[in-house]
Structure 1
Amino acid sequence: MASPSSFRAVYKVVDEQEIDVDVYLPQSETAKGVAGYPVIIDIHGGAFMLGSSDMVNKDQIQDCLNRGWIVLVPNHRLCPQVDLLDGPMRDCRDLLAWVYDGGLQDAVTSETNIPYSLDLDHVFAFGTSSGGTLALSLGFGVPRRVAGIFDMYGPCNFSDGFWTSELPHIASKLPAGLTEDFINQVYAERPVPIRGGVSLEGQAPGAPNFSDPRQAFAFTQIAQGSVMKAIYPKGDWDTVDPLRNISASFPPTFIVHGTEDVMVPMSLSKDLHAGLLAHGVKCGMEEVPDEGHTFAAKMKVGSRTWEIQRKGFDFLESLIDQA
């Protein structure tokens, strides 16, 4: 099956650097009702330090297109030169504002002669791993929230002891001889990159490439249990932790997490789910048997894993049907 096609749009400019988004349009006859086309923002993973818009599951994009949704796959600035709040979160929130303020409509209109009217009452957020956290960040700290969120194994509960725990199975992959001077070369990158090596989802053959300071830096932080310190040294979790920002008005949220995940333990998603339930937020959670972290990259259409994770998109679609 051919990969879905997209066009590039620029949603913001920072220090003369264009930050872009891949826009995927469904077939014009698949509009969902008279309100227009729902929009879903699909955010890549990579521990906030790696990845790009190229590194998302194209089958999931096609699933959303088949539902008659416009799919946006953004790039964002990568930590650690910018921190989590001022970089990835700010960019994704600015993308959401660009959608609501008419930027997406203008971009689509200029790209095609087919009229695509947008259903701005149904703008959704979806992401895997760190992208799941960024999707959740579109449910708080913004003037207008998304209408629903699908979070696949996204980090949260940043005060949990796991986030300062060493991960020996990652440390064993690091080559000998990595120095602080070498990995800290990432801080000298200008402009702040919006594309970085691998996404941790395992798409690149032979990944990771430890001759790249960025990849070596990211995996070193993961191994040492210092990711959160690297990407958000302020440690003010109240501003960035989705778990601490749940309220009764938080968007409906669905969570999918693998039972064998040792990179982001499923217990953290269970904490998030419990918080949503406690605040009366419409929500759901599915545990995927026998799957570890980043399984979204490798799952096969029609497999048990595929059908389980698809319930997240079904959940979002149900929000349209109930409108």
Structure 2
Amino acid sequence: MRSVIDIHGGAFMLGHSRMVSLPQISDCLARGWIVLVPNHRLCPAVNILEGPMQDIRDLLSWIQDGHLDNVISSRGYCADLDNIAAFGTSSGGHLALSLGFDVPKPVKAILSLYGSVHFADPAWRIPLPHVAKKLPSDLTPEFLNKIYDEYPVPTDSSVSLEGQTEAGTGKGPDFSKPRDAFAFTQIASGTVIDVIYSSKDDPGMARIDPILNVEDGFPPTYIVHGMADTMVPIGLSRALLQKLKDHGVRCGMTEVPDEEHTFAAMMEVGSKTWWLQREGFDFLEQIIGKGHGA
């Protein structure tokens, strides 16, 4: 059976595996794919390279080393180790793209939904007033820095950027929690990159930025991005698409009209947005095929 890895978003600091789009998972299952939805360590107590990227790459190695087969073989299934794809939203899109470089054997295909890329672009340093206005005025550095005291490094948080909460209430962040307050403060200030990765040893961020690692032989890649995205501007994905084309990588992109960041969590099945974003999954199917019995 073909496998797909579905990686949650959250600016590398928020969310967990239960905060992904269930309709997207249902679509994948209907195509006959095994869907793996991992957690990963959350920044900033661990950096993006040594935490989230390493954890997702370890999962890929775990599958390729036959451990998934060991889990599912008792149920009469066999994993196809040559047809593994990855997709994710926002920071999860970045982590999916990270399975296309600096790994012994890349995934067969990648789908990035408004993924975080092109970290040298000035857009990553621009404050976001519409996020800042949601923050309380009494947050102190001492309170925010309590996030660094969390031990062990957490692999889940109770809120995501997708508008979901642990209880499913959709009420958004709880600013009485240091993690929620810290993450949204960095997003509002345009300082996310500064807190998730130190550029001292990697000034150009070449080890973490997918757009700097596209080369001939990069896995086929599809991009879906909302045209009204105010958190990860669509121009960043357009730049990635051009880089893919420049290197002859099989690729494509769907631009979804009027959609903001994180639309995947709130779209309605059967809506125009649903059918447009589904073009990305159709692309994956062209590469890895349908699963057994689909």
User: TM-score, normalized by length of structure 2?
Assistant: 0.95
Off by >6 Å, runs of 4+ in structure 1: none
The residue identity in structure 1 corresponding to 2:142 is D
Q: Is residue 2:185 matched to residue 1:217?
A: no
Separation in 1, partners of 2:217, 2:116: 21
Q: Is residue 2:275 matched to residue 1:303?
A: no
Separation in 2, partners of 1:320, 1:198: 33
Query: Which residue does 1:155 correspond to in 2?
Result: 116
Instruction: Specify which structure has the bigger relative contact order, considering alpha-carbon pairs within 8 angstroms and separated by 6 or more residues.
Output: 2
Contact preservation (8 Å) 2:12, 2:43: yes
Task: Decide which of 98, 120, 131 is 1:170's aligned counterpart.
Answer: 131
Cα 1:321–1:98 change in 2 (3 A) is closer
The residue identity in structure 2 corresponding to 1:212 is K
Q: Is residue 2:6 matched to residue 1:42?
A: yes
Separation in 2, partners of 1:141, 1:50: 25
Q: Secondary structure at the match of 1:238?
A: coil
Query: Which residue does 2:41 correspond to in 1?
Result: 77
How far off is 1:321 after superposition?
4.4
Q: Secondary structure at the match of 2:281?
A: helix
Query: Which residue does 1:96 correspond to in 2?
Result: 60
Query: Which residue does 1:228 correspond to in 2?
Result: 193
Q: Secondary structure at the match of 1:151?
A: strand
How far off is 1:206 after superposition?
1.5
How far off is 1:222 after superposition?
0.5
How far off is 1:320 after superposition?
3.0
Spell out the pairing of 1:1-323 with structure 2 (5 A cutoff): 37-109=1-73, 113-204=74-165, 205-234=170-199, 236=202, 237-321=205-289
Separation in 2, partners of 1:178, 1:233: 24
The residue identity in structure 1 corresponding to 2:97 is L
How far off is 1:196 after superposition?
1.1
Structure 2: gaps spanning 5 or more residues: none
How far off is 1:234 after superposition?
2.4
How far off is 1:89 after superposition?
0.1
Q: Deviations over 1:151-194 (max 9, x none)?
A: 00001000000111111111111011000000110101000000
Structure 1: gaps spanning 5 or more residues: 1-36
Q: Secondary structure at the match of 2:81?
A: strand
Q: Secondary structure at the match of 1:166?
A: coil
The residue identity in structure 1 corresponding to 2:11 is A
Contact preservation (8 Å) 2:41, 2:55: yes
Contact preservation (8 Å) 2:15, 2:156: yes
The residue identity in structure 2 corresponding to 1:291 is E
Q: Secondary structure at the match of 2:276?
A: helix
Instruction: From the two aligned structures, give the one with the greater strand fraction.
Output: 1
The residue identity in structure 2 corresponding to 1:67 is R
How far off is 1:121 after superposition?
1.1
Q: Deviations over 1:217-269 (max 9, x none)?
A: 00000011100000002262100000000001100000000000000000000
Moved more, 311-320 or 135-144: 311-320
Separation in 2, partners of 1:321, 1:101: 21
Separation in 2, partners of 1:93, 1:320: 19
Separation in 1, partners of 2:159, 2:138: 21
The residue identity in structure 2 corresponding to 1:68 is G
Separation in 2, partners of 1:144, 1:248: 15
Separation in 2, partners of 1:103, 1:321: 22
Query: Which residue does 1:19 correspond to in 2?
Result: none
Q: Percent identity?
A: 58
Separation in 2, partners of 1:141, 1:43: 18
Q: Deviations over 1:129-164 (max 9, x none)?
A: 000000000000100000000000001000000111
